[in-house]
Chain A
Amino acid sequence: MTTLRLIAGPARRARPAAYSDCFEIGGNTMPQVSLTVNGKQHTVTVEARTLLVELLREKLGLTGTHVGCDTSQCGACVVHVDGKSVKSCTMLAVQAEGAAVTTIEGLAAADGTLHPMQEMFREHHALQCGFCTPGMVMAAVDLVRMHPAGITEKQVREGLEGNLCRCTGYHNIVKAIVAAWPLIHGKPNPAAAG
């Protein structure tokens, strides 16, 4: 069986120019990935084709990150990689070499206190079956981060383009995210009325 070997070190932050930049073909060992997940360092042996979400769910047992589709459409698998939201089904595990990953399990404080986004999702009934929720919350946290000057409902709706929810009709998700903005930024949302 042909195996692929990850070339140590480079090219994590910049998208690899070509597949061959990442791998040497014909090596004997399964790739290893070293990464930090929710503040904890892990070194994991994976297949070259293993997706980040598979590493999280199957190797690390972090089943809070969900898989809802096979075409990168639903966003149930969104995690943060170095602080930015990423669909973890769309990234190979080996691409996360050296990265700091945060999953839904790592969002609340160590004592269990929910992140303001989680708290606002509960307060505004922004979840029903809970399956899209981890990806929705992680995407929402990054969305609010990306709008430091304030956020409108319209911007939230457009910003959620990559996340599907089948239960809520989004109404309460939008409300929750707008409500979380001032809690996260520590000031009133200047765009709230917009």
Chain B
Amino acid sequence: MGYEGIGAAVRRKEDQRFLSGKGNYTDDINRPGQLYAYIKRSDRPHARIDRIDTKAAAAMPGVIAVYTGADMAADNVGGLPCGWQIHNKDGSPMAEPPHPVLAQGKVRHVGDPIAVVIAETKQQAKDAAEKLDIALTDLPAAATMAAALAPGAPEVHEGVAGNVCYDWHLGDKEAVDAAFARAHRVVKLELANNRLIPNAMEPRAAVGEFDGATGDYTLFTTSQNPHVIRLLMGAFVLHIPEAKLRVVAPDVGGGFGSKIYHYAEEAIVTWAAGKLRRPVKWTAERTESFMSDAHGRDHESVAEMAIDAEGHFLALKVSTHANMGAYLSTFAPCIPTYLYATLLAGVYKTPAIYCEVKAVFTNTVPVDAYRGAGRPEATFLLERLVDAVAFDTGIDRVEIRRRNFIPKDAFPYQTPVALQYDSGDYFATLDGALKEADWAGFEARRAAAKARGKLRGIGVSTYLEACGIAPSAVVGSLGARAGLYEVGTVRVHPTGSVTVLTGAHSHGQGHETTLAQLVVEQLGVPLSQVEIVHGDTAKIPFGMGTYGSRSLAVGGTAMVKAMDKIIAKGKRIAAHLMEASVDDIEFKNGTFSVAGTDKSKSLGEIALTAYVPHNYPIEELEPGLEETAFYDPKNFTFPGGCHVCEVEIDPETGVTEVVNFVAVDDVGRVINPMIVEGQVQGGVAQGIGQALLENAVYDSAGQLLSGSMMDYTMPRADNLPNIKVGTEITLCTHNPLGVKGCGEVGAIGSPPAVINAILDALKEWKVRHMNMPATSEKVWSIINGRA
């Protein structure tokens, strides 16, 4: 057994079960007497429901029940709640139209659930759904933000004027206007951030169960945050007391944000299980995932940078339209506001920033957080704009960045858009990435490629993000309706092994290993003696789950604080046993010893004493060795770094090949470098996917054209290069581990690096900007003069 603590690349504890087919994903769960739900969804983008006749469907073989929105309304089932409230410029609250579980009177996007058929088998339910007699009258649809904002546009929701959810702003407009008035030059860019469909490999699934004898409900669901689902569904939708509702998120096959939200199907199976007194299971077919999982991104922006004669940034002005889709998903309103506009300083000391954001309802699938959530949109905008400044002024792309970086000695650094960065060194990550990517030697490679008939380009992106969300009081003041602390319980068993109950949830991140390494480090217990339990509201304390790269920075810190309490109590027990003063007890490598003596007790001995308290300071100390800590962070964490992308374009076909990718990131202290590298590589792959391949496309009528894996292009192994990952660390100053977070940096930093590289390859065509994805058609059209 080698070193297993902080910094060790130990292999993952969870892999044995995943590699041998013994994972326990939601669709693998089957309960006795289980029924199957099939959800009939709208195939129209916007329509009035004139009639739903369920008789023929209900008479089909094996059918147990058919339910519509009317049945749910009769049972007083509530709508799906939104977890965040944004206020308009004038202080009034955002428009928050109802989000029914099953459609009430109208459908508002392709995929909107209309009815549910429940049968003995999945196929019977599906067959019976064909017999549903549903009469719809088509209504004009607003398929795009432009269509929704046009005068006389169709109303997605009655009473939401102009389809505007909110019109919000941040920053000092006067200061920005003043800076623009005296600027040497203004560089302006119009750009879009393409709509993406997260596509975790595991489709969403839910199994609801009701115990008639106890009145207890259980929901197994593909969720990143089971307690949040329990709170939202229990309190707002089904009115089930939390003590009677258990939510289990077992092994979850990827999330990337899309499994944060409370979805209709979770409420449907739980409610139906209660009505039918039998378990009810629903598993999404991938086509359903495309039209019911929350989508990501979908921004249209105008960005302007005012600069002085030397290219110093004086002020930034941004106006963004953000697509909300047809309904507000759980986190949706905060993504284009507090996770976007607050990031517009990036790594630059721009003194004045003003951003206004209009959130727009359209007849499309709801849009919410997807890996990075707001920060990739801010980063793409900034890093494209900075390259445009270089393009317009002729100043070198790297030099313009260096000239505007926040200096290393300026931390803590207060940005003009609310955030205060605690630490960072953007020069170090830039230098590290340029060296690893051999930026200096690029022109020789470009010439060699040219000789082979290829167009070679290189691009850079220097980015920053905010994660580890976040101080509850701060997010509360910004509109969050929940707290964003995290909780950890550390249970030392009588013989010294340890179980940790964490409110964080692993859906691929490897918490069972990384979090266990924290226990190895702090309590000196071998990795094999540590179990991490997560994802079950019946087992863990009320935790907030995993998103925004918060598991380690917030959840890990809660564990550290719980272990501090374990050690403090252990010292008192040890002092009693060894007849010493508590102040003289030292704890190191799993052993309590009396300073300056050879007297010592192992953690296991102390634990046994705590549970068998025969010789114990019972008057002053409770038995047992189990501690819980809730940790509410003082600030966000601020990972940042530099990504360099090198591409080769085949001018004959317009196909772009990423030939080299280097990511040098500052993710704070690294607990397991192997896992960090994997997280960054996976994030970069999704970023390259966004930049080159992925695009959710609606036609003008509101039909989703990219509605299957045949139409929506996710990167495959032969679309991607090896991804070189390095780190240049500065420690987070406000959590004891010094950690920042690594789950999203890859997807945040990489897209502009790819586009910047492509535009560099297309240098001779003097292309100033290209929106994503940079498809071969788009690139070929430029080369062939048809753009």
Contact = CB atoms under 8 A, between A and B. Distances in A.
A122 B11 contact: yes
Interface string A96-132: 0000000111011000101000100111010111111
B201 A171 contact: no
A194 to B, nearest CB: 14
B751 interface: no
Lowest 8 A-B CB distances belong to which pairs? A64-B21, A131-B253, A130-B18, A169-B685, A129-B508, A104-B21, A73-B709, A128-B508
B510 A131 contact: no
B718 A108 contact: no
A164 B678 contact: no
Nearest to B202: A131
A131 B254 contact: yes
B709 A69 contact: yes
A68 B11 contact: no
B254 A122 contact: no
Interface string B715-736: 1111010110000000000000
B27 interface: yes
Nearest to A104: B21
18 contacts: A63-B25, A76-B201, A122-B19, A125-B675, A129-B200, A129-B254, A131-B25, A161-B717, A165-B201, A166-B201, A166-B254, A166-B686, A167-B508, A167-B682, A168-B681, A170-B715, A170-B717, A173-B717
A172 B20 CA distance: 18
Contact of B12 (A62, A67, A71, A125): A125
B684 A127 contact: no
A170 B720 contact: yes
Contacts of A64: 20-23
Given A168-B678, A174-B717, 19 more contacts: A65-B21, A66-B201, A68-B201, A73-B708, A114-B20, A125-B675, A129-B253, A130-B14, A130-B18, A131-B25, A132-B253, A133-B19, A158-B717, A160-B718, A166-B200, A166-B256, A168-B681, A169-B686, A171-B722
A1 B123 CA distance: 14
A125 B568 CA distance: 36
B777 interface: no
B507 A169 contact: no
A181 to B, nearest CB: 16
A153 B723 CA distance: 13
Contacts of B718: 157-158, 160-161
A17 to B, nearest CB: 26
Nearest to B252: A129
A65, A69, A168 — which one has the most chain B CB atoms within 10 A of its CB?
A: A69
Contact of A169 (B16, B123, B674, B720): B720
A133 B20 CA distance: 9
A164 B708 CA distance: 13
Interface string B255-298: 01000000000000000000000000000011100000000000
Chief secondary structure at chain A's binding surface: loop
A129 B202 contact: yes
Nearest to A50: B123
Nearest to A135: B201
A185 interface: no
B717 A103 contact: no
B677 to A, nearest CB: 8
B717 A160 contact: yes
Contact of B678 (A68, A132, A160, A172): A172
A43 to B, nearest CB: 20
A13 interface: no
B582 to A, nearest CB: 43
A134 B252 contact: no
A108 B22 CA distance: 12
Nearest to A69: B286
A74 interface: yes
Interface in B161-187: none
Nearest to A154: B718
Contact of B199 (A130, A133, A166): A166
Interface string B80-110: 0000000000000000000000000000000
Contacts of B715: 169-170
A63 B286 contact: no
A137 interface: yes
B23 A68 contact: no
B384 to A, nearest CB: 23
A144 to B, nearest CB: 15
A127 B199 contact: no
Contacts of A105: 20-22
Interface string A39-65: 000000001010000000100001111
Nearest to A118: B19
A169 B681 CA distance: 6
A72 B26 CA distance: 21
B486 interface: no
Contacts of B444: none
Contacts of A57: 28
Contacts of A168: 678, 681-682, 685
A156 interface: yes
Nearest to A131: B253
Contacts of B17: 130
B723 A171 contact: yes
Nearest to B725: A171
B714 interface: yes
B723 A1 contact: no
Nearest to B710: A71
Contact of B709 (A49, A74, A156): A74
Nearest to B685: A169
Contacts of A137: 19
Interface string B198-242: 011111000000000000000000000000000000000000000
A175 to B, nearest CB: 8
Contacts of A107: 20-21
Contacts of A128: 254, 508-510, 678-679, 682
Contacts of A171: 681, 685, 720, 722-723
Contacts of A164: 201, 709, 714, 716
B15 interface: yes
A169 B287 contact: no
Contact of A67 (B11, B27, B723): B27
Contacts of B508: 128-130, 167
B665 interface: no
A4 to B, nearest CB: 14
B394 interface: no
A127 B201 CA distance: 12
A66 B15 contact: no
A157 B678 contact: no
B20, B674, B709, B717 — which one has the most chain A CB atoms within 10 A of its CB?
A: B717
Contacts of A153: 722
B61 interface: yes
Contacts of A104: 19-21
A169 B725 CA distance: 12
Contacts of A127: 15, 18-19
Contact of B507 (A66, A103, A129, A163): A129
Nearest to B15: A122
Contacts of B509: 128
A58 B112 CA distance: 28
Interface string A6-19: 00000000000000
Contacts of A167: 201, 254, 508, 678, 682
B251 interface: yes
Given A69-B286, A164-B714, A122 B12 contact: yes
Nearest to A68: B201
B19 A156 contact: no
A125 B23 contact: no
Nearest to A64: B21
A160 B256 CA distance: 23
A12 B285 CA distance: 28
Contact of B285 (A70, A103, A122, A157): A70
Contacts of B678: 125, 128, 167-168, 172
Interface string B42-71: 000000000000000000010000000000
